[in-house]
Chain A
Amino acid sequence: MGSLTALINVARSALIADQAALNVTSNNVANQNTTGYTREVATFTSGDYVTLNGTQEASSGPTVAVSSERNLALERQIQTLQQSVSSSTAEGGVLTQIEDIFGVASSGSSAGSTQIGVALDALFSSFTALAANPSDSATRQGVIGAAQTLATSLNSAANQFSELTTSLNQQAQSTVEQVNALTQTVATLNSQIAKLSPNSDAGTLEDQRQTAIEQLSQYIGLTQTTNVNDNTITLTTRGGTALVVGQQSYNLQESNTGTGTAQILDNTGKNITAGVTGGSLGGLLAGVNTDVPSAVSQLNSIATAIVNQVNTINEGGSTLTGAAGGALFTITGSVADSASGITAASDPAIIAAAASGAGTSDNTNANALAALATTTNASQTGPIQGQTFDGFYASLLSQVGNSAASLNSETTANQTALTQLTTQRDSYSSVNLDEEAANLTQYQRSYEAASKVFTIADSIYASALNLGVESSVS
């Protein structure tokens, strides 16, 4: 008699277990498109047994344990790769904008030239023309025109760089705000997980935390450690500054140094810029603190050398009136920002084509000016020293292009690895509708079968109670 009751008990437990499994399946189907959702599986465990009269009989039905199919090692690999991809993508974006400042265009006279390159060549050409016709007013006006074009091109490039710097600082600022919001989210989730599930996988809470960390990985490079005592995750920057410790998050701040470079400060105001790498913030910082200043300083070096060399020669010669030549270029403001401050004279009378003391048709000084096209700037300080203007400019172009190209290929390689890892993770953790459909059918059948067991047990009960007589209890 005891085993017949057990039969009903077992059937009842099976019904409950199947319902729980059906619940898991429907939850999986419902969350198929939820970002960061990790599919759950129902694991059946058989019930207890009792030994009656020397035979083992089930005393209760199966139970169902629900667990998330999560591979934390894979998640971390993805997060680390995501930090590299975001970093190189962000820095690549900066380099692309630098490239755009030195945009290659096809012009009538020359295939594939850049604005500053053309302006430099035009200036030297105008000096050559001046040497052929030193007193001709149209030719002299041509020199002024070429000088003004070069000055304007340098100004325009410098302005674009300064706008780029401003916009990069703003981007860094808003990225820091996103980072702060996400670290708060992670801290909140840490506290919930510590309360609810300190010893095991926290299911959807863990999903949300992993999603937050993955988003955070797009913005900043992280080092993470799991605290085994309460299942919280500690996040620090790659340089070791705490972002989330247990249930507490620490905000970062972005500050513009005033000279265009960006600084990241921790919550106590300490400068931790060097330790912030990875993520789009790391890429932006590399762009605004390294790539842009490097290109700008080379541009300034060209501008300063042009001003020094041209003015020295021009001032050493004689104008049409026999007076000493004037400054063809002037730097307004700091010499360090010569590209943005360079202006050209507007009066052709200050051009000194003749050697000092020589007459109006002398072209000695004009020849010296034209020879600047091939001079090696040995007397100049700064990066241009020992190189010709065009050689230095060409190396600047190749440097900008090379950094962008190498970063692009790094991004592509990392992106491929990230895609592979993501595929691997998704194949392990994502909801597969075919599988869910199969499970659904299986659990449904199982539920039907358990119900059948129940029905049969019930009818056996009836037979037992009526002692074989069919009428009274059915």
Chain B
Amino acid sequence: MRVDPNYITNLSGSLSQSSYAEQQLTNELSSGLRIAQLSDDPVAAAQNALFSNAINRLDSFTQSSTTEQGKLQVADSTLGQVVTQITSAISLATSAGNGTLNASNLSSIATELGGIRDQVLSLANTSYQGQYLFSGSQGSTEPFTLNGSTTPTTVTYNGDSLTQSVQTPAGQSIQVNVPGSAIFTNPSANLLGTLNQLITDVAAGNNTAVAADSTNLSAALTNVSTQRAVLDSSLSQLTSTSTYATTQATQLTAQQSALISADPATVATQLQTAEVQHQALLSVISAVGKSDLFSYIQ
């Protein structure tokens, strides 16, 4: 049998292959990735892109939901203060309506009620990060303006009745605002209108009308609490969805890492094996091919 006399040349080809293997493994160690090129594992590379996308969506939802939660918390505490103000107004109306107070007392109560009305108005015009909270979609328009030239004083709503919502990664819509018209000038429980009417009625000493206004105020209080509950429910939904999104992102990140990260221990072992093979090849090449029959013919 004849052998290939050029086998040492072929060995040098193997040598470059083992160098290449070492180089690949060193790259994996330095980049920390199992995949340097798409062809290393096309399926994993494609899945990785989808993982990145999903993680990214969850992360951006978590971030935007933080902004929305801040806004909802401000709206909630604003409405909390409104409730306190309405409660004071109701007790003032009760004392004004019992028929025992003289005109000067009634006038001072009317002034006090005017202060409450202004307070509620300013709460209704609360803004967060430069945008009014209760103007529907018209964030840059002050929602409520007072017109003192009429009796009773009137309040105009300048916003609209649109609501906004955020989309969760699962596609659920969560309402993140309640338009001011539903809270402060709701036709069935008109808070600011009732307060203005009350001020006029107290100043005029009209006990019957004050009692009716008091009833209306209670209705407005119920309405504010109802609308506040809407915001509270959104807030709690956002908080829990956001927590869930964070957990999910963590899990996906772990899966992604398992998919395409290089395991340093494995790679180091492989590198060791490749290095041993490389050394062995070098020794073989230097050992063989030094002699042929010509060396022995004298």
Contact residues of A with B, CB < 8 Å? 95-96, 99-100, 102-104, 106, 109-114, 117-118, 120-122, 124-125, 128-129, 131-136, 320, 354-355, 358-364, 367, 370-371, 373-374, 390-391, 393-395, 397-402, 404-405, 408, 419, 423-424, 426-428, 430-435, 437-438, 440-441
Contact A367/B165 with A359-B139, A360-B138, A438-B293 known, Cβ cut-off 8 Å: yes
Query: Which 10 A/B pairs are nearest by Cβ-Cβ distance?
Result: A361-B139, A401-B42, A401-B38, A359-B138, A132-B64, A362-B137, A398-B46, A404-B39, A437-B293, A359-B137
Contact residues of B with A, CB < 8 Å? 1-7, 10, 13, 31-33, 35-43, 45-50, 52-53, 55-57, 59-61, 63-65, 67-68, 129-132, 135-141, 159-160, 162, 164-167, 171, 177, 253, 256-257, 260-261, 292-294, 297
Q: Quick check: B36 and A121 within 8 Å, CB to CB?
A: no
Q: Quick check: B292 and A390 within 8 Å, CB to CB?
A: no
CA of A100 to CA of B38 in the docked complex: distance in angstroms? 9
**Which of the residues B38, B67, B129, B171 comes within 8 Å of A104, measured between beta carbons?**
B38
Instruction: Give me 16 A-to-B residue pairs in the complex whose CB atoms sit less than 8 angstroms apart, sorted by A's number.
Output: A102-B38, A109-B59, A112-B261, A122-B56, A359-B159, A362-B162, A371-B167, A390-B50, A390-B53, A394-B46, A399-B42, A400-B42, A401-B39, A402-B39, A424-B4, A430-B4
CA of A58 to CA of B257 in the docked complex: distance in angstroms? 87
Q: Quick check: A363 and B45 within 8 Å, CB to CB?
A: no
Q: Quick check: A373 and B261 within 8 Å, CB to CB?
A: no
Other than the known A104-B35, A358-B137, what 10 A-B pairs have Cβ atoms closer than 8 Å?
A: A104-B38, A104-B48, A112-B48, A360-B131, A360-B138, A364-B162, A428-B2, A431-B5, A437-B294, A437-B297
Contact A133/B67 with A104-B36, A104-B37, A401-B38 known, Cβ cut-off 8 Å: yes
Q: How far is the CB of A371 from chain B (nearest CB, A)?
A: 6
Contact A131/B39 with A360-B138, A431-B5, A437-B294 known, Cβ cut-off 8 Å: no
Q: Quick check: B45 and A359 within 8 Å, CB to CB?
A: no
CA of A404 to CA of B55 in the docked complex: distance in angstroms? 28
CA of A124 to CA of B256 in the docked complex: distance in angstroms? 20
Contact A397/B42 with A128-B61, A359-B135 known, Cβ cut-off 8 Å: yes
Which chain A positions have C-beta within 8 A of B257?
111
CA of A272 to CA of B2 in the docked complex: distance in angstroms? 44
Contact A360/B137 with A135-B130, A371-B167, A427-B3 known, Cβ cut-off 8 Å: yes
CA of A359 to CA of B33 in the docked complex: distance in angstroms? 47
Majority SS of interface residues in chain A?
Answer: helix
Q: Quick check: B160 and A394 within 8 Å, CB to CB?
A: no
CA of A120 to CA of B57 in the docked complex: distance in angstroms? 11
Select from chain A the residue with minimum beta-carbon distance to B37.
A99
Q: How far is the CB of A398 from chain B (nearest CB, A)?
A: 3
Q: Quick check: A111 and B256 within 8 Å, CB to CB?
A: yes
Which chain A positions have C-beta within 8 A of B2?
427-428, 432, 435
Q: Quick check: B167 and A131 within 8 Å, CB to CB?
A: yes
Q: How far is the CB of B156 from chain A (nearest CB, A)?
A: 16
Select from chain B the residue with minimum beta-carbon distance to A96.
B37
**Which of the residues A103, A133, A428, A438 comes within 8 Å of B129, measured between beta carbons?**
A133
Q: Quick check: A373 and B10 within 8 Å, CB to CB?
A: no
Which chain B positions have C-beta within 8 A of A111?
32-33, 48, 253, 256-257, 260-261
Which chain B positions have C-beta within 8 A of A135?
130-131, 139-140
CA of A320 to CA of B50 in the docked complex: distance in angstroms? 34
CA of A175 to CA of B212 in the docked complex: distance in angstroms? 99
Best-surrounded residue of A120, A122, A320, A401 (most CB of chain B within 10 A):
A401
Contact A423/B7 with A359-B162, A401-B37 known, Cβ cut-off 8 Å: yes
Which chain B positions have C-beta within 8 A of A129?
60, 63-64, 67
Select from chain B the residue with minimum beta-carbon distance to A103.
B37
Select from chain B the residue with minimum beta-carbon distance to A107.
B52
CA of A393 to CA of B53 in the docked complex: distance in angstroms? 11
**Which of the residues B40, B56, B135 comes within 8 Å of A110, measured between beta carbons?**
B56
Select from chain B the residue with minimum beta-carbon distance to A130.
B64
Q: Quick check: B42 and A402 within 8 Å, CB to CB?
A: yes
Which chain A positions have C-beta within 8 A of B40?
401, 405
Q: How far is the CB of B179 from chain A (nearest CB, A)?
A: 10
Which chain B positions have C-beta within 8 A of A110?
52, 55-56, 256
CA of A455 to CA of B189 in the docked complex: distance in angstroms? 143
CA of A104 to CA of B45 in the docked complex: distance in angstroms? 8
Select from chain B the residue with minimum beta-carbon distance to A391.
B50
Q: How far is the CB of B129 from chain A (nearest CB, A)?
A: 7
Best-surrounded residue of B3, B49, B131, B135 (most CB of chain A within 10 A):
B49
Which chain A positions have C-beta within 8 A of B139?
134-135, 359-362
Contact A117/B49 with A104-B38, A367-B166, A401-B38 known, Cβ cut-off 8 Å: yes
CA of A320 to CA of B59 in the docked complex: distance in angstroms? 27
Best-surrounded residue of A124, A125, A132, A399 (most CB of chain B within 10 A):
A132
Q: Quick check: A426 and B6 within 8 Å, CB to CB?
A: yes
**Which of the residues A419, A434, A437 comes within 8 Å of B10, measured between beta carbons?**
A419
Q: How far is the CB of B74 from chain A (nearest CB, A)?
A: 13
Which chain B positions have C-beta within 8 A of A113?
48-49, 52
Q: How far is the CB of B38 from chain A (nearest CB, A)?
A: 3
Q: Quick check: B166 and A99 within 8 Å, CB to CB?
A: no
Q: Quick check: A394 and B50 within 8 Å, CB to CB?
A: yes
CA of A103 to CA of B31 in the docked complex: distance in angstroms? 13
CA of A125 to CA of B169 in the docked complex: distance in angstroms? 11
CA of A438 to CA of B129 in the docked complex: distance in angstroms? 97
Q: Quick check: A359 and B160 within 8 Å, CB to CB?
A: yes
**Which of the residues B32, B140, B253 comes within 8 Å of A360, measured between beta carbons?**
B140
Q: Quick check: B162 and A358 within 8 Å, CB to CB?
A: yes
Which chain B positions have C-beta within 8 A of A100?
37
Which chain A positions have C-beta within 8 A of B165?
363, 367
Q: Quick check: B46 and A395 within 8 Å, CB to CB?
A: yes
Q: How far is the CB of A384 from chain B (nearest CB, A)?
A: 15
Q: Quick check: B5 and A359 within 8 Å, CB to CB?
A: no
Q: Quick check: B292 and A437 within 8 Å, CB to CB?
A: yes
CA of A100 to CA of B36 in the docked complex: distance in angstroms? 10
Q: Quick check: A433 and B294 within 8 Å, CB to CB?
A: yes
Q: How far is the CB of B138 from chain A (nearest CB, A)?
A: 3
Select from chain B the residue with minimum beta-carbon distance to A110.
B52
Which chain A positions have C-beta within 8 A of B53?
117, 120-121, 373, 390, 394
Which chain B positions have C-beta within 8 A of A435?
2
CA of A355 to CA of B50 in the docked complex: distance in angstroms? 30
Q: Quick check: A433 and B5 within 8 Å, CB to CB?
A: yes
Which chain A positions have C-beta within 8 A of B52?
110, 112-113, 117-118, 121
CA of A204 to CA of B119 in the docked complex: distance in angstroms? 109
CA of A125 to CA of B10 in the docked complex: distance in angstroms? 54
Q: How far is the CB of A65 from chain B (nearest CB, A)?
A: 20
Q: How far is the CB of A344 from chain B (nearest CB, A)?
A: 19
Q: How far is the CB of A137 from chain B (nearest CB, A)?
A: 9
**Which of the residues A354, A371, A428 comes within 8 Å of B137, measured between beta carbons?**
A354
Which chain B positions have C-beta within 8 A of A133?
64, 67, 129
Q: Quick check: B140 and A124 within 8 Å, CB to CB?
A: no
